[in-house]
Structure formats: C-alpha cells, structure tokens
Amino acid sequence: MKRFLLPLIMLVVFSAESIYTDLVKLPFVTDDQLAVPHFLMVVLIFMSAYINKKHAVVYGFIFGLLYDINYTGLLGVYMF
C-alpha cells in the first residue's frame, strides 16, 4: 500500500494544479492574466526534505516531463 500511496498523491497534486487554475478566480487577476499555482513544486520540496532526495529527483523528472507535455510547447523546460 505504501508503494502506491506516494505516486497517487503526486498524480492528485498534478491534476489539482489545473483544476485550481480553472475553478478559482482571484480578484487581483484580470481576464488576460493567469495565476498558476505550483503545488507540485511544493510537494517535491517537502518530499526531498522529509522522505528521500533520490525519490524526489526521480519524481521531479517524471512529473516535469508530464508538465511539459501537457502545458508547454517546449519539452524539457520544467523537467530541467
């Protein structure tokens, strides 16, 4: 169970970023602006501090590539 809990949490956080961006409208952000949270970055920092740095780097590469595929046109920016 513990093996599957961390990847499941990371997938939920990854999808929560786009859901938060779509659903939460901040009063100081206009229609032509977009406030994007970086929940995944915060979780990776906590993971490296409290769990294991090696796992955090691996998850950072994997989810950085997924972030690049979904949200940017240039691959490798967030993976780096």
DSSP assigned state of 73:
S
Domain ranges of the chain: 2-71
Minimal CA–CA distance to 17: which of 64, 73, 56?
64
The model's pTM: 0.74
3-class secondary-structure state, position 64: helix
Task: Give 23-65 pLDDT, tens digit per residue.
Answer: 888 888 887 887 778 888 899 899 889 888 898 899 888 888 8
Helices (H) and strands (E) counted in the chain, each on its own, are 3, 0
Structure tokens given for 57: 């780097």
> Of all helices (H) and strands (E), which one includes residue 70?
helix 53-71
Band of pLDDT at residue 80, cut at 50, 70 and 90: low
